[in-house]
């Protein structure tokens, strides 16, 4: 199948909310580079809000059986507003996860971007909730399948922005609750030792892939801090990340 053919199948699966078999099932040569080419094809013409990292925490890698970090893009149309309920039937098999979010105040590009560079370029940080959704049956995929499916991107919520100065992002505690019950906890360090290290990895990886890099004003989700929890109509997810604050997403 061609790049555009695979991209069209994933776009249709997303639009029609109908899961498909992973491409690696029938094509063992479907590899990561090809997955990213599909993702790149699908990004063209879409309004880009920023980027998302996936599988930057070991707990997330274990949950889906893929042991490498990946990146995807954030479509501006997929952003949620605080207090806006999300109808569950707009997605296939949604799961929610807590994330630390960066808002860049400077461009970041090049082969040697460091954690310190990211912190210097960061205008604000925030608590986030990513509502992931896989277009593959039963969240079964390889890294290549996942890259093509934009790393399970669904919808996303960004909390009130906070100034980063004085915050130790690696030591922040994150609590994920569903309907008032604590489901999982983590520290910021769960993501590559420091969430800014994950953003630095993204900048270097985009450079290696010939992409333009990170731009001032872009929003970056650093990756799920805990395993993602399935959500259904009537559920309420709360994410509390200490000094970043507490945000809530409800589902109808
Ligand atoms: O479907 C998945 O769980 C893969 C996406 C991972 C997203 C993340 O780690 O933030
Ligand atoms: Mg995520």
Q: What is the pLDDT of residues 179-210, one digit of tens each?
A: 999 999 999 999 999 999 999 999 999 999 99
Closest to 139 measured CA to CA, from 222, 19, 233, 10: 19
Cα-to-centroid distance, 67 and ligand 2 (Å): 15
Is residue 152 in contact with ligand 1, taking CB distance under 6 Å?
Answer: yes
Cα-to-centroid distance, 37 and ligand 1 (Å): 19
Token output for 56: 């930057």
7-66 pLDDT tens trace: 999 999 999 999 999 999 999 899 999 999 999 999 999 999 999 999 999 999 999 999
How far apart are alpha carbons 38 and 252 in whole angstroms? 32
Q: Three-state SS across the chain? A: CCHHHHHHHHHHHHHHCCCECCHHHCCCCCCHHHHHHHHHHHHCCCCEEEEEEECCEHHHHHHHCCCCCEEEEEEHHHEECCCCCECHHHCCCCEEEEEEEEEECCCECCCCCCHHHHHHHEEEEEEEEEEECCCEHHHCCCHHHHHHCHHHCCEEEECCCECCCCCCHHHCEEEEEECCEEEEEEEHHHECCCHHHHHHHHHHHHHHCCCCCECCCCEEECCCCCCCEECCCCCEEEEECHHHCEEEEEEC
**What's the predicted TM-score (pTM) here?**
0.97
Is residue 220 in contact with ligand 1, taking CB distance under 6 Å?
Answer: no
How far apart are alpha carbons 191 and 174 in whole angstroms? 12
Tell me the pLDDT band of 1, cut-offs 50, 70 and 90.
Answer: confident
Contacts (Cβ under 8 Å, ≥6 apart) of 57: 186, 190, 191, 192, 223, 224, 225, 226
79-134 pLDDT tens trace: 999 999 999 999 999 999 999 999 999 999 999 999 999 999 999 999 999 999 99
How far apart are alpha carbons 157 and 101 in whole angstroms? 10
Is residue 139 in contact with ligand 1, taking CB distance under 6 Å?
Answer: yes
Token output for 1: 């199948």
Is residue 147 in contact with ligand 1, taking CB distance under 6 Å?
Answer: no
């Amino acid at each position: 199948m061609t790049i555009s053919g695979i991209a069209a199948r994933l776009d249709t699966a997303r639009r029609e909310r109908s899961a498909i078999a992973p491409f690696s099932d029938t094509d063992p040569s479907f590899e990561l580079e090809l997955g990213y080419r599909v993702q790149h094809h699908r990004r063209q013409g879409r309004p880009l809000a920023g980027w998302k990292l996936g599988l930057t925490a070991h707990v997330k890698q274990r949950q889906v059986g893929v042991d490498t970090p990946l990146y995807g893009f954030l479509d501006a149309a997929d952003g949620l507003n605080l207090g806006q309920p999300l109808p569950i039937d707009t997605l296939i098999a949604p799961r929610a996860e807590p994330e630390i979010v960066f808002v860049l105040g400077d461009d970041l590009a090049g082969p040697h971007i460091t954690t310190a560079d990211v912190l210097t370029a960061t205008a604000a940080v925030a608590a986030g909730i990513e509502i992931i959704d896989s277009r593959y049956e039963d969240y079964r995929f390889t890294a290549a399948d996942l890259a093509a499916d934009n790393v399970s991107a669904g919808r996303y919520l960004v909390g009130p922005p906070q100034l980063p100065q004085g915050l130790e992002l690696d030591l922040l505690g994150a609590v994920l609750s569903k309907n008032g019950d604590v489901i999982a906890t983590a520290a910021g360090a769960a993501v590559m030792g420091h969430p800014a290290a994950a953003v630095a990895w993204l900048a270097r990886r985009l450079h290696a892939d010939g992409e333009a890099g990170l731009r001032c004003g872009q929003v970056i989700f650093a990756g799920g801090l805990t395993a993602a929890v399935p959500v259904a109509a009537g559920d309420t997810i709360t994410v509390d990340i200490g000094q970043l604050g507490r945000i809530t997403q409800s589902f109808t």
